[in-house]
């Protein structure tokens, strides 16, 4: 556990960056520090490894005041990942990752073996080991930075806006990779970001800082979204916090309709009967393996010859899908909004169709979720 007890940081010009901070960061979890620029979140993080010295109060790791340890020794025991990775340009990927083990006196063979293991862990190819940082993409460099921070197996990992310099697609991939790694490694991670979306996605707990370095709210993401303590927190989170909160309610609770799912070999006449019985303006057409092909409207069916198979008709694209077992109500809502039929398609983990849900039925489920207590156990 990392504890801040009445911690203040005042710079020589009188600027107060952190003001009387009390915070307990739990062991083995990801805690995100978030807030507007200049609110003290990076300063707070850097006081943990003494890259910034506090003015008053105590920062402790598992009860030991960080000021009782030599800064260089302390930093070698804490992983640290920053923007742009901060790699040594003259060292190979393998030797960049092995930096801390080298400093700790490991022999080169052992250090490089460890670096090779970590390359695989963070999703880097063995063939990249002898490359130099300038030969890698931004996302690959950040993976090297994460691997280097993990090289000596530190219990604490500090991450200062590590993904902010890469494009949104790579950033999402790196966030997913971090979640996967944390599930496996269970490090005590302190992660700084200005992006509340990122904080909600990766954080087990979120500390929101006000301008002036004061803590506004410290809570699990679910409760932060549901119950912001004041107008500042509510404004910082944004007015779409209700939609974000749906990420914590599982899609597996939805009632899906399978009676409007028809095989591509079905005749238009039979499909018309199915649509009338179901009182639905759209049917989902699937292939023999029950994978979605597209939507057919009741209007199209009425104009088609009775013996024509649905697979020969002009189908409407099916848009996005959601995985029933693992996705959230937010993913289902997104799929329904993007669907040309206004219906979300739920599939199993193999991609075969389980059923569909209309926006009206989804809305009822969302209404129930909005009235529900904050779910326990984290995001689905």
Cβ-based neighbours of 255, under 8 Å, separated by 6 or more? 357, 361, 365
Write the DSSP string, 211-252.
TTTEEEEEE-HHHHHH--SSHHHHHHH-TTHHHHHGGGSBGG
| CA dist., res. 328 & res. 306, Å (int) | 39
Q: Look up tokens 């030599």; give the residue.
A: 70
Q: What sign results for the dihedral spanned by CA atoms 86, 87, 88, 90?
A: negative
Map residue 262 onto helix, strand or coil.
strand
- Nearest to 44, CA basis, from 169, 145, 159: 159
Q: What is the pLDDT of residue 272?
A: 92
Query: What angle is formed at CA 293 by the lines to CA 288 and CA 295, rounded to 5 degrees?
Result: 125
At residue 266's C-alpha, the angle toward residues 260 and 270, to 5°, is 70
| Structure tokens, 310 | 């649905």
| The token pair that represents 270 in the structure block | 């039979």
State how far the Cα of 182 lies from the Cα of 292, in Å rounded to an integer.
Answer: 34
108 CB contacts (<8 Å, ≥6 apart)?
98, 102
Residues in the chain: 380
State residue 370's pLDDT score. 60
Q: What is the pLDDT along the chain (380 residues), one digit of tens a residue?
A: 999 999 999 999 999 999 999 999 999 999 999 999 889 999 999 999 999 999 999 999 999 999 999 999 999 899 999 877 688 899 999 999 998 888 888 988 999 999 998 998 888 899 999 999 999 988 899 899 999 998 888 999 999 998 887 888 888 888 999 999 999 999 999 999 999 989 999 999 999 999 999 999 999 998 998 889 999 999 999 877 878 888 888 999 899 999 999 999 999 999 999 999 999 899 999 999 999 999 999 989 988 898 999 999 989 998 889 999 999 999 999 999 999 999 999 999 999 999 999 988 888 888 776 655 544 444 44
Q: Which residues is 345 bridged to in the sheet?
A: 321, 356
Query: What is the three-class DSSP state of 37?
Result: coil
Is pTM beyond 0.85? Reply is no
CATH class as words, domain 251-371: alpha beta
> Distance between CA 218 and CA 157 in Å, rounded?
19
The first and second tokens of residue 238, run together, are: 């944004």
Structure-block tokens of residue 57: 């109060």
- Let me know if the fold of 2-247 is the same as that of 251-371: no
Q: Which two tokens stand for residue 5?
A: 């007890």
Domain boundaries, the chain: 2-247, 251-371
At how many degrees (to 10) do helices 168-185 and 138-150 cross? 20
CA 112 – CA 95 distance, rounded (Å):
7
Distance CA 377, CA 47 (A): 31
Q: Which two tokens stand for residue 221?
A: 């993401």
Q: How many of the other CB atoms lie within 10 Å of CB of 276?
A: 11
**Following CA atoms 231, 235, 241, 244 in sequence, which dihedral angle do they give, to the nearest 10 degrees?**
-130
Sign, Cα dihedral of 65, 67, 73, 78: positive
Which option is the CATH number for 2-247: 1.10.357.20, 3.30.428.10, 3.30.2320.50, 3.40.50.300? 3.40.50.300
- Residue 272, token pair as written in the block: 């018309």
């Amino acid at each position: 556990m990392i504890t801040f007890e009445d911690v203040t940081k005042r710079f020589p010009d009188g600027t107060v960056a952190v003001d009387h901070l009390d915070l307990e960061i739990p062991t083995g979890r990801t805690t995100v520090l978030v807030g507007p620029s200049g609110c003290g979140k990076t300063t707070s993080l850097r006081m943990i490894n003494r890259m910034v010295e506090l003015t008053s109060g105590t920062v402790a790791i598992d009860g030991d005041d960080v000021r009782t340890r030599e800064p260089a020794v302390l930093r070698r025991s804490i992983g640290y990942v920053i923007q742009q990775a901060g790699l040594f340009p003259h060292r190979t990927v393998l030797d960049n990752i092995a930096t801390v083990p080298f400093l700790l006196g490991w022999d080169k063979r052992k250090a490089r073996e460890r670096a090779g293991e970590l390359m695989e862990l963070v999703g880097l190819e063995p063939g990249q080991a002898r490359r130099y940082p300038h030969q890698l993409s931004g996302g690959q460099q950040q993976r090297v930075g994460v691997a280097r921070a993990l090289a000596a197996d530190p219990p604490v990992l500090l991450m200062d806006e590590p993904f902010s310099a890469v494009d949104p697609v790579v950033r999402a991939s790196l966030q997913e990779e971090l979640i996967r790694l944390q599930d496996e490694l269970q490090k005590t991670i302190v992660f700084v970001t200005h992006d509340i979306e990122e904080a909600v996605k990766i954080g087990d707990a979120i500390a929101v800082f006000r301008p002036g370095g004061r803590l506004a709210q410290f809570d699990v993401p679910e409760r932060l979204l549901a119950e912001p303590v004041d107008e500042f927190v509510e404004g910082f989170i944004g007015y779409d916090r209700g939609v974000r909160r749906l990420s914590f309610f599982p899609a597996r609770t939805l009632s899906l309709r399978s009676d409007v799912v028809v095989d591509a070999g079905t005749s238009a006449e039979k499909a018309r009967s199915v649509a009338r019985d179901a009182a639905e303006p759209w049917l989902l057409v699937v292939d023999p393996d029950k994978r979605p092909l597209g939507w057919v409207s009741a209007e199209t069916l009425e104009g088609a010859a009775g013996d024509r198979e649905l697979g020969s008709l002009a189908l409407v694209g099916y848009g996005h899908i959601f995985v029933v077992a693992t996705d959230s109500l937010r993913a289902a809502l997104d799929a329904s909004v993007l669907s040309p039929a206004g219906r979300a398609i739920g599939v199993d983990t193999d991609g075969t169709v389980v059923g569909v849900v209309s926006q009206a039925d989804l809305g009822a489920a969302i209404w129930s979720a909005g009235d529900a207590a904050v779910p326990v156990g984290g995001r689905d």
